[in-house]
Each structure stands twice: as structure tokens, then as C-alpha cells.
């Protein structure tokens, strides 16, 4: 699927969809393609703090574990609990039903500026 241009991206293959200061976070198609079937996602609790570009959880396929790095800093206000029983949603559509967490960003505007747009992300993945 084409990289949605309504959101921003980090070089750790995460996306951040901004709605004012509420930011939804997920992993990109590139990430799920290289991971394979996602079998488990280890996410923090609602209320936990996340720091931009630092590890906040883990995503597992059958034969691999990858760290999740948050593209945004702030407080987690919602976690996609569907993934506990239906981790396949991340593969189905990583950009919608496969979302991971929603964060109340501590500084949405300046953080947005540190992330790349769809075109820049596509350029990055074309190289890898």
C-alpha cells in the first residue's frame, strides 16, 4: 500500500498521526514486511511516559523481536488492546486497525518538525 501522506515518519519505521496534541503511533508497512507475521506486541500501560526516539515496547514475529521507538514524546492516553488477542491486525493494516498507542504529546508542534514526511520516508526505504 502507498505510504499515507497524512502523517509523519521516523527512521525507525514508525509513523505519527497528529490530531492537535493527540498523536496516534504505529509501525509502517516496511516494518511489517520485514518482520513477517506479527505474533505479539508488548506495550506499556495507559499513563506511562514515552520519550521521543526512545524504546517504549517490543514487537515480535515468530522468529524475531524488534524494539519499538516512539516518534513522539508525552503521556500514553490509549493503547490498542485489540492487539493482545489479534496481533494480526498490525499486518492487516498497520496504518489503521494496527495502530499501537495514542499519546498526549508534550510538544506536538516542535516534535512534528523533527519527523519526515511521506516522500522523505519513501526515499529512505528505497535505499534500504
Partner 1 sequence: MKVPFPGEIDRRLLNERSVSGRIGLQLQEIDVPEQPFPDAGLLRSVEARLPEVSQPEVVRYFTTLSAMNFSIDTNFYPLGSCTMKYNPKVNEEMAFLPGMAGIHPNQPDETVQGALQLIWELQQDLGEITGLPAVCLGPLAGAQGEYSGLMIAQAYFQDQGDFNRTIALMPDSAHGTNPASAAMAGLEVVTVPSDSAGNVDVEALRGLVDQRTCVFMLTLPSTLGLFEPNILEITNIVHEVGGLVYADGANLNALLGIVKLGDLGFDIAHSNLHKTFSTPHGGGGPGAGPVLVSETLASYLPTPVVDRNGDTYRFAAPDKTVGRVNGFHGSFGVLVRAYAYIRAVGAEGMREVSENAIINANYIRTALAEEFGIAADRVCMHECVLSPQAQKAKGVSALDISKRLIDYGIHPPTMYFPLIVPEALMVEPTETETKDTLDRFIAVMRQINKEIDSDPDLLHDAPHDTPNTRLDEANAARHPYLRWQPDDDLTAVD
Partner 2 sequence: MPTNISPYIPNTQDDRELMLAAIGVSCIDDLVLDIPEAHRFPKLDIRPALSEFDLTAEIGALASRNAALGEYACFLGAGAYRHYIPSVVKSVVARGEFLTSYTPYQPEVAQGTLQVGFEFQSMICEITGMEVANAGMYDGPTAFAEGALMACRITRRQTVAVLDTVEPRNAQILDAYARHQGIEIVVIGHGDDLPDDAACLMIQSPNQFGVIEDMEALADKAHASGALSVASINPTSLGMFRTPGECDVDIVTAEGQALGVPLSFGGPYVGLFACKDIHKRQMPGRIIGRTTDTKGRVGYVLTLQTREQHIRRERATSNICTSTALIGLLMTTYLAVIGRAGFKKVAELCYHKAHYAAIEIDKLPGYSVKTDGPFFHEFMVECPKPPAEINRALIDSKIIGGHDMSDRSNNGMLICVTEVNTRAEIDALVYALSEIGAVR
Partner touching 87 among partner 2, partner 1, none, CB below 5 to 8 Å by kind = partner 1
**Per CB under 8 A, does 84 bind partner 2?**
no
**Per CB under 8 A, does 63 bind partner 2?**
yes
**Per CB under 8 A, does 34 bind partner 1?**
no
Whichever of 30 and 40 has its CB closer to partner 2, that residue is: 40
**Per CB under 8 A, does 29 bind partner 1?**
no
**Per CB under 8 A, does 86 bind partner 2?**
no
Would you state the cell numbers that stand for residue 35, as one nine-digit string?
518482520
Would you state the cell numbers that stand for residue 94, as one nine-digit string?
498497520
DSSP state for residue 128 in the 8-state scheme: -
Using CB under 8 A, which of 60, 78, 93, 104 touches partner 2? 60
Exposure string of 8-32, with b = 16+ CB inside 10 Å and e = fewer, is: bbbebbbbbbbeeeebbbbbbbbbb
Q: Rg for the chain (alpha carbons), in Å?
A: 13
CA separation for the pair 61, 90 (Å, rounded): 11
From the list 13-21, 60-68, 84-92, 93-101, the region that binds partner 2 by CB under 8 A is 60-68
DSSP state for residue 83 in the 8-state scheme: G
What residues line the site for partner 1 (CB under 8 A)?
Answer: 36-37, 39-40, 60-63, 85-88
Amino acid at each position: 500500500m502507498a505510504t499515507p501522506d497524512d502523517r509523519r515518519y521516523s527512521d525507525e519505521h514508525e509513523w505519527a498521526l497528529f490530531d492537535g496534541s493527540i498523536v496516534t503511533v504505529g509501525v509502517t508497512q516496511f516494518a511489517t514486511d520485514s518482520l513477517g507475521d506479527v505474533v505479539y506486541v508488548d506495550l506499556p500501560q495507559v499513563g506511562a511516559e514515552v520519550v521521543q526516539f526512545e524504546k517504549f515496547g517490543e514487537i515480535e514475529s515468530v522468529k524475531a523481536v524488534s524494539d519499538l521507538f516512539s516518534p513522539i514524546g508525552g503521556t500514553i492516553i490509549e493503547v490498542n488492546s485489540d492487539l493482545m488477542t489479534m496481533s494480526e491486525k498490525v499486518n492487516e493494516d498497520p496504518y489503521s486497525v494496527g495502530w499501537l498507542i495514542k499519546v498526549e504529546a508534550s510538544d506536538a508542534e516542535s516534535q512534528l518538525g523533527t519527523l519526515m514526511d511521506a516522500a522523505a520516508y519513501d526515499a529512505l526505504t528505497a535505499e534500504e
